[in-house]
Amino acid sequence: MRFSTAVLTGSSIVLAAALPTNTFKRADSCGQWDTVETGSYTVYNNLWGQSSATSGSQCFGVDGLSGDTLSWHTSWSWEGGEGQVKSYPNVVVSLDSKPLSEITSMQSSWSWSYDGSNIVADVAYDMFTSSTAGGSNEYEIMIWLAALGGAGPISSTYGADGSATPIATVALAGTNWTLYKGPNGDMTVFSFLADSEVTNFSGDLKEFIDYLASNQGLPSSQHLLSAGAGTEPFSGSDAVFTVSAYSLTIE
């Protein structure tokens, strides 16, 4: 994830498995590392970059689970630290790590909306892989459904205006995407950016992995460690990100 000419770093996500349950709306949580587990999902507040803000706060809550479809929300306001991601409120599905070549499908649906003032943020899936099931993150695969207010992905090169330089364009899951590639610490980051905002996504995320393996050098022997979906706030006020329906099934 990137804004202007500042390269940004994220944090790894630790998975926590939970037994399937039915849940109802819960009171919001606001702690830096607060989590809520429900069904096969864990929702994280994940304020990993809050120290770069001059002021602000963020809370999140789970609204319900029906079958494998989750609804949740987050509200935030952040000032200062221009070009720096403050957090990644997101939902991660529990999974058994296995090589990408052994995954047959990653069917997902995601309906969301954003309200607020002067929002700079992205809305994205975020997946991490490693050469072993218990290894360190080596590749990060992001699928940006939206880039709001000037947010942009990591790239190896940038134009004179500070914009990231793409490496390819591709049509996947019924949408046209521009692909970027760049470093995030020791990781290689691939970022697919939708050509237009996608507020209702439905498709197989395995299409993106297969494309990278066939065309961009992603080793299919890499193990999928985690698969999250959420928003990365940079700055804004009175922001409310609402996920009315989300599901991800990995086979």
Is 207 known to be catalytic? no
Please tell me the distance from the alpha carbon of residue 6 to that of residue 84, in angstroms, as a whole number: 8
Nearest CA-CA partner of 177 in 160, 153, 161: 153
The pTM (predicted TM-score) of the whole model is: 0.90
Q: Please report the domains of the chain, with CATH numbers, ordered by start residue.
A: 18-250 (2.60.120.180)
**pLDDT truncated to tens, each residue of the chain (251 aa)?**
544 333 333 433 333 334 344 555 678 999 999 999 999 999 999 999 999 999 999 999 999 999 999 999 999 999 999 999 999 999 999 999 999 999 999 999 999 999 999 999 999 999 999 999 999 999 999 999 999 999 999 988 888 888 889 999 999 999 999 999 999 999 999 999 999 999 999 999 999 999 999 999 999 999 999 999 999 999 999 999 999 999 999 99
Is 138 known to be catalytic? no
Residue 126 has a pLDDT of 98
DSSP state of 24: B
Which residue in the block uniquely carries the two structure tokens 């050098």? Answer: 217
Q: Which of 79, 197, 232, 251 is catalytic?
A: 232
Q: Which amino acid is at 170?
A: V
* Residues facing 124 on adjacent strands: 144, 230
DSSP state of 22: -
User: Strand pairing of 139-148 and 187-194?
Assistant: parallel
Q: What tokens appear for 59 in the block?
A: 């809370």
Residue 4 has a pLDDT of 37
φ and ψ of 14, to 5 deg? -95, 125
* Residues facing 90 on adjacent strands: 44, 230
Q: Which of 37, 82, 138, 140 is catalytic?
A: 140
Q: What is the SS3 assignment for 195? A: coil
